[in-house]
Structure 1
Amino acid sequence: MTTTTAIGYEKNLPATDPEALIAREVDVPELGPHDLLVEVEAVSVNPVDVKLRAGAPADGFRVLGFDAAGTVREVGSAVTLFAPGDEVFTAGSIDRPGTNQRLHVVDERITGRKPATLSFADAAALPLTAITAWETLFDRLRLTEESSGTLLVIGATGGVGSVMLELAEALLPNVTVIATASDAERAAWVRGLGAEHSVDHRGNLVSQVQGIAPHGVDWLFTAHSEGQIETYAQIVAPFGHIVAIDDGPRDVFPLKGKSIAWHWELMFTRPLQQTPDMVEQHRLLNQVADLIDQGSISATTTQTLAPISPDTMREAHALVESGRTLGKVVVHGWR
């Protein structure tokens, strides 16, 4: 069986610990009917990577990574969407070994064509965040080009929020977007991505939002919902909708009086559940690639590190773990 170099963890350690992430040779699994074998050129680090490294069982050795861009080297027997030599980007799935390895096996139905106008590094910044933002706007909230109202994006300077602002600007012309930002640099960032308004989530969020949308916002996306339900109940309009991507609260009863709907968004649901519409992630990634190549949206890379190694990956984890990063941190190139 073929082996490949992978970066993962054996113990839950701080990112500053030299043993927090290590390299190992691991077996490359046999390709399933819909699988691609991708030679990985670049990866990025997401909060889910940090969360798993810090607290999830390693089961011996766990390979992290939920973003990659690279080149298809082999395909499974039923593959129809790609051929060897194609350049792709993908977020993979949480129930399979991650993308932080030279050779990665991933289902074609959750893989998209790499935007032709982007480097591998910039392409690797997009899959997880683009899928999450797209599914939030168009699957959970069911927004269309004709939709009109106000969207509040909480966590707008992170990876998902940044892509969401760009998608809203490009595809939702009648939606007014309010984005959270904690300082002048971040306020400039969100406005540059298309937000009409910015508010400081460290201040009185209720008064700030009500000053812009006195009757409440129609839709709210949050990456930080724990302990915020009472606040959301005040700033979301009757019959409004909230989408959360964090582990969230256990009690959403305060929303009942205004018939506010609560939605979860987990971009791994389709591959985890093998849903009949799993190929929709392939299609949406291709639509994102089209928007990139048309110049309608751009990559959200803000920091690029090299090479892909345990030391560099630990540095990237520490940056993401700080909670102060704008956009995405990307790591590219193997030693």
Structure 2
Amino acid sequence: MQAIGVKESLPITNPESLVAFETEVPHPSEDELLVQIKAFSVNPIDTKIRMGLRQAIKRPRILGFDGVGEVVEVGKAVSDYQVGDQIYYLNSKIKPGSNAQFQVVDPKMASHVPQSVSLSEAAALPLVSLTAYEALFERLAIPMHSKTKQSILILNGAGGVGSMAIQLAKIAGLNVVASASRDETRQWVESMGADAVINHHHNLVDECELLGPAAYEFDYVLDLHGLDSHFDEVIELLAPNGRLCTVGDGQLTVDSEDFKSKSLSLSFESVFTKSFYKTQNLNSQHQALHQIAQWIDNKELKSPLTQTLTGLTVENIQQAHAVLETRQMIGKLVIEL
């Protein structure tokens, strides 16, 4: 099969930053699926891993951490899928990725695709929707249908995770304030359902005070931006007993007294924890993807897809990496095969 991978950490403008190569079609174990890939999304983690190799490697590493595919082989211990099924899925960080024609998939990290959207729209969903789902409902422990009007601040609402987090928070019944720094990103987060928008390039407390006569106090904050420059502001904005979850990059130095005085809690979210450590609740990702597909088909959620490229080529994946490295991507970019 054809695949595209990375052998050495090079700028994306270097023609050798990604390479095409031929490799054998993988074989699933008894509890796995083999899929023929139809589309995959490109995520920031792809660019980070491409630039994070400590040294050049002989065998290219295939990137790609989610996608959509048609099941072509079913392990004998798998009962919920059959050949011909269309599934969307998350990939483990330690297995060959979706930048290829075929891929082995763990059914605990997959579900049948939503029926009301295109395969490309479905391919934009797994990594970002699962990250948002776990951050909101597991790390922040937000009730699925809040009876009281609680509030959440989502920092960087225009990316893929932010787009899904805004929508999921609205499903949970929260009042959502999201941050965006440009006119086009502001319009995007409003289209995702944000009740108000602030600029994360400004002081967050000042921005929130402009929303009304009284300063906001948030029950929850989801950081997708990096707390380096806003940590003190976030602590001030959190209500007593509030919860903060960060998915963003950057260094974070925490003074426990900041949290003790308000009885705040801090958590971190990585969508790859369950598969990397083989936790007993890995199947929760299948359950979440199943629920997300239902919400999509019920028109309660929409795909964050904004850009599509066609063809499994080095040039297309390089173009996708280049777009993400501008750090101005709105929504998600998908490559169709």
Deviations 1:74-112 (A, max 9, x none): 011211221111000112110111111100001011011
Q: In the TM superposition, what whole-angstrom CA distance separates every residue of 1:146-194 from its partner, at most 9, and x where no partner exists?
A: 253110001100000001111122x222x11000011222111111111
1:83 alignment counterpart: 82
Q: What CA distance in whole angstroms lies between the structure 2 residues aligned with 1:5 and 1:161?
A: 33
Question: What's the counterpart of residue 217 of structure 1?
Answer: 218
Note if 1:323 corresponds to 2:322.
no
- RMSD between aligned residues: 1.5
2:38 aligned with 1:41:
yes
Q: 2:309 aligns with which of 302, 305, 312?
A: 305
Q: Provide the C-alpha distance between the structure 1 equivalents of 2:251 and 2:80, rounded to a whole number of angstroms.
A: 40
1:62 is the counterpart of 2:61: yes
Matches of 2:307 and 2:289 in 1, distance apart? 22
User: TM-score, normalised to structure 2's length?
Assistant: 0.93
In structure 2, the partner of 1:245 is 247
Note the C-alpha offset of 1:270: 1.3
Distance 2:223 2:208 in 1: 14
Report the equivalent of 1:21.
18
| Structure 1 range deviating more: 177-186 or 211-220 | 211-220
Deviations 1:200-246 (A, max 9, x none): 11122121124446252111111222413222222212221111113
TM-score by length of structure 1 reads: 0.94
Q: Which residue of 2 aligns with 1:154?
A: 155
Structure 2: distance between partners of 1:280 and 1:204: 37
How do residues 251-290 of structure 1 correspond to structure 2 at under 5 angstroms?
Answer: 251-253=253-255, 254-290=258-294
Q: Secondary structure of the equivalent of 1:270?
A: helix
Q: Counterpart of 1:117 in structure 2: which amino acid?
A: S
TM-aligned CA deviation for residue 256 of structure 1: 3.7
Does residue 172 (structure 1) correspond to residue 176 (structure 2)? The answer is no
Structure 2 unmatched runs, 5+: none
Q: Distance in 2 between matches of 1:189 and 1:224?
A: 16
Aligned equivalent of 2:194 = 195
How far did 1:26 drift? 2.0
State whether residues 229 and 249 of structure 1, in contact with CA within 8 Å, keep that contact through their aligned partners in structure 2. no
Structure 1 residue 208 and structure 2 residue 210: aligned?
A: no
**Count of paired positions:** 328
- Asked if 1:236 is matched to 2:274, the reply is no
d(CA) in 2 for partners of 1:316 and 1:271? 26
| Separation of aligned partners in 2, 1:226 and 1:139 | 20
Look up the SS of the partner of 2:163 in the other structure: helix
Q: Which deviations, in whole Å up to 9, do the C-alpha atoms of 1:236-295 show, x marking residues without a partner?
A: 122211111134434221434322211111111111121112111111101111111111
Shift of 1:298: 1.0
Unaligned runs of 5+ in 1: none
